[in-house]
């Protein structure tokens, strides 16, 4: 659930950025980074 929520947050954030075409890829990278800190 936590990972799923983080992915949704990251994807939403990336939608308005220049990276929007690759948002799923960058969302996964961001979530993986956060999960390593946990």
Three-state SS string across 1-38, please?
CHHHHHHHHHHHHHHCCCCHHHHHHHHHHHHHHHHHHC
pLDDT at 14 (0 to 100): 76
Q: Give residue 19's pLDDT.
A: 65
Domain ranges, ordered by start, for the chain = 2-37
In angstroms, rounded to a whole number, what is the distance separating the alpha carbons of residues 30 and 36? Answer: 10
**pLDDT one digit per residue (tens) for the chain, 38 residues:** 899 999 888 888 877 766 667 888 888 888 999 999 87
| Torsional sign, CA 11, 3, 30, 26 | negative
């Amino acid at each position: 659930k936590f990972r799923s929520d983080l992915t949704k947050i990251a994807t939403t954030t990336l939608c308005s950025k220049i990276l929007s075409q690759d948002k799923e890829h960058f969302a996964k990278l961001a979530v993986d980074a956060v999960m390593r800190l946990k």
